Amino acid sequence: MQPVNDHPSVLSKLAKTNHIHLQRLSIFSSPAFTPQDVHFARFTAVVGSHGSGKSYLLKILEESLPKYGGEHMRFPPASRSRWKDADRADVGAVAGTHSINMGSGWTPQNFRVDLRRPRAESFIFGESDGELRVTVPLSAHRAFADYEMWMQDVEAPDHARHFEGSWAADRPTLTSINRILGREYGSVEFFAFKSDSYDAPYLEATMSDGHVRTPYEMSSGELWVLYCIWELERSAASDIVLIDEPESYLSPRGHVAFLDEIARRTLAGGFQTIIATLSEAMIRRLPIDLLRFAVRGANGVVIRDDVSHDEVMVAAIAHTEGMVHQRVFLEIAEYLGLDHAFVRRTLIASWLNGVDVREQAREMVSGMEKAVVQLL
């Protein structure tokens, strides 16, 4: 099945656009990051190994920027009554001081943020400017929390006619959904279930044989992807969308298709998107100008924007700790008296440069693709 759009062109346009809401985060103090400036593009992917601070960076932005208008349930640890007098860092919440530099679309301004204080409800820029409406934080954990609340409030016999509004996936969206999930949906319809404290999508997907799948029947991957598309559909041009690990619950073959759909909607919707990802396929798909590499050093995490795809991929492969062949790196490092991480990076980089290795990798991927197709 061919892509609906020229998606690499979409990503290239996102890399070149100057219409960026959040331009820079200047970190002054943080329990995780060294003092630094972090620059953002219209579409930014923060990448790095587990524990490198990717999700923490998104949490800092979520707590610093205007909140989502109260439509979702939010349980930030420091807001719970029994912790209200505790220091945020002591209860595991984000902490620190920094400034937010907002750019095009409004009169450029800087806002200093102290995360010990409540976050702003909204930022008003100038009399002739619009309002930065909301920050939209998305994660599989949050999505399933919303679904769980919805399933507690709605009995199984209830159907779409009891919910508010609806919209059906158009042909490009439906084609993208089928590519992402490997499904053959004939149609997908989205409805909104609203309560006083949260809202969530009620979904009906009609299969090619006429069977209608509801959220009660859907897999975690289906629920997560459709939840994201529902949120992106209702995001406004003034929004900043944060997505933590969009590859969650997805087969690797769906990663690129999902990235393409998120990028397509970002460009069409006029909003800004920042993701944190570990997906090799997504990293390779993205233009290097859109990548930010989180690296943990002796004095905290540094977010680098001066890296190559090869450097990022070597680091990603190098962090597959615990596998049998990784012991060889330890033994070589100990024998030579060198740093383990240095030896590991050097050997993997040399390995990846081999022409035969690259050809073998292509053949292996091709074989895996054929095997997957046969299983389906």
The pLDDT value given to residue 256:
93
CB burial of residue 15 (10 Å; 0-12, 13-18, 19+) = middle
| 210-228 pLDDT per residue, tens | 999 988 899 999 999 999 9
In this structure, CATH architecture of domain 7-317 = 3-Layer(aba) Sandwich (3.40)
What whole-number distance in Å separates Cα of residue 345 and Cα of residue 317?
A: 9
Please compute the mean of the pLDDT values over residues 34-59 and round it to a whole number. Answer: 92
Among 7-11, 179-183, 223-227, the range scoring the smallest mean pLDDT is: 7-11
What's the predicted TM-score (pTM) here? Answer: 0.76
Cβ atoms within 10 Å of 150's Cβ, excluding its own: 19
Per-residue burial over 110-148, b if 16 or more Cβ lie within 10 Å, else e, is eeebebeeeeeeebeeeeeeeebbbbbbbbbebbbbbbe
The pLDDT value given to residue 374:
63
The pLDDT value given to residue 359:
74
Is 90 exceeded by the pLDDT of residue 326?
A: no
| 254-299 pLDDT per residue, tens | 999 999 999 999 999 999 999 999 898 899 899 999 999 998 888 8
Plot region of 73 (φ>0 → left; ψ -120 to 50 → alpha; else → beta)? beta
Report the chain's mean pLDDT, rounded to a whole number: 78
Q: Where are the domains of the chain?
A: 7-317, 320-375
